[in-house]
Amino acid sequence: MVGYAFMGAAHSQAWRTAGRFFDLPVEPDMAVLCGRDGDATRSAAAKLGWRSVETDWKQLLTRDDVQLIDICTPGDTHAEIAIAALDAGKHVLCEKPLANTVDEARAMVAAAERARARGVHSMVGFNYRRVPAIALARQLIAQGRIGEVRHVRGTYLQDWIVDPEFPLVWRLQKDKAGSGALGDIGAHVIDLAQFVTGDRLTGVSALTETFVKQRPLPAASSGLSASGSTERGEVTVDDTALFIGRFGGGAVAGFEATRFATGRKNALRLEVNGSAGSLAFDFEAMNELSFFDGAEDPATAGFRRILVTEPTHPYAGAWWPPGHGLGYEHTFTHEIADLLRDLGTGAEPSPSFADGLQVQLVLDAVARSAEAGSGWQRIEEVND
Ligand code: SOE
């Protein structure tokens, strides 16, 4: 694994745990953790459970005990590491968003295709697909339980940079992160909207805003916490992105991604209204899915809360008795379990790099629309 901050810790937990709750055809050996700072990487490796360290990711390509590289670094290094790893015959799991630009994402898809021909696989880490309630929503929509999808309403609301003195961490720098709230959290809600409906966006109209244009340079940072220095620098990304869109199947959509929704910590919300019912999800109550069944007697019909913890629900049966609930970390454990199962059986892991490119095209269309004063931008189709 390359990187050991917030995502690195989340993935490490998943690598340690997946095989202990899911029956998997292969057992992960947490061979090596890579980071530029030797001391910090050694201490992270000891804490997170990796048995050796490297300080140059290129060393991973030459090691026989490395079959898969998990990329948990900022977006500016995804393409270089992923392409080199795939060309060296290593499977790749890459954090979202796949890349910082569409061109990088296209090059990564080309590398993934070259590698697939040699039995080497890749996957992009849209972990929220593996929330049991989200996986259940997808099943219910595919079964026609809400009929024809008409509206998709997706928001991803956080508030961790609402303080103008919060430092200019890498997630607020375009050269490191590609974009701001749009790529970091908008990418998740775009992916989920398309995943649960089984449909894809064909065009968007958007606006973005950066409320705080200068911030203290970071003195130190770890995950989403940081302390600032006395010098200031320019914020080069969006603080919020809002957009409307059309799906290929005829549904219309509204999206909002922001880090300025004061009081909202990780409110990844999705509501889908169909001709025969509706579904609603909020990550802040991630073990629940709300379902309105339009076929019910209007006298008693209403949104009802499904507690998605039954053994028959996606992923839930591997864990605790009904009602005992899962958390954020389980989404990564499910991601790793699915990846290991696919690698063991030879199935193609999902979401693929092509899925990551498709989300990148939506992000790019949103950014272009916002720059052009909200004009409509079509989204190119991607072949799977
Ligand atoms: C920060 O906004 C962040 O950590 C994202 O980078 C993650 O993808 C999301 O899961 C939680 O928030």
This model of the complex carries an ipTM of: 0.96
Beta carbons of 60 and 90 less than 8 angstroms apart? yes
User: What CATH architecture applies to the domain 148-275+359-369?
Assistant: 2-Layer Sandwich (3.30)
Rounded Cα distance between 35 and 9, Å, is 13
Atom in ligand 1 nearest the alpha carbon of residue 184: 6
Q: Where in the chain is the domain with CATH 3.30.360.10?
A: 148-275+359-369
Which of 238, 236, 244 is closest to 259 using CA atoms? 238
Ligand 1 geometric centre to CA of 63 (Å): 31
Q: For ligand 1, is residue 158 a contact (CB within 6 Å)?
A: yes
Q: Which two tokens mark 285?
A: 């109550």
Q: Would the pLDDT of 45 be above 90?
A: yes
Ligand 1 geometric centre to CA of 177 (Å): 12
**Mean of the per-residue pLDDT values of the chain:** 97
Q: For ligand 1, is residue 184 a contact (CB within 6 Å)?
A: yes
Beta carbons of 155 and 256 less than 8 angstroms apart? yes
Beta carbons of 201 and 246 less than 8 angstroms apart? yes
- List, for residues 286-321, the tens digit of each pLDDT value: 999 999 999 999 999 999 999 999 999 999 999 999
Q: Quick one: pLDDT at residue 223?
A: 80
CATH class of 6-127: alpha beta
Enumerate the H helices of 22-166 as residue ranges: 38-48, 58-62, 78-87, 102-116, 132-142
3-state secondary structure 197-240: HCCCEEEEEEEEECCCCEEEEEEEEECCEEEEEEEEEECCCCCE
DSSP string, 57-97: THHHHH-TT--EEEE-S-GGGHHHHHHHHHHTT-EEEEESS
Q: For ligand 1, is residue 6 a contact (CB within 6 Å)?
A: yes
Atom in ligand 1 nearest the alpha carbon of residue 127: 10
Q: Would the pLDDT of 384 be above 90?
A: no
- List, for residues 161-172, the tens digit of each pLDDT value: 999 999 999 999
What is the amino acid identity at position 27?
E
Q: For ligand 1, is residue 73 a contact (CB within 6 Å)?
A: no
Q: Would the pLDDT of 383 be above 90?
A: no
Percentage of residues of the chain with pLDDT beyond 70: 100
Q: Where in the chain is the domain with CATH 3.40.50.720?
A: 6-127
Q: Which sign, positive or negative, has the C-alpha torsion 62, 66, 67, 70?
A: negative
Beta carbons of 369 and 376 less than 8 angstroms apart? yes
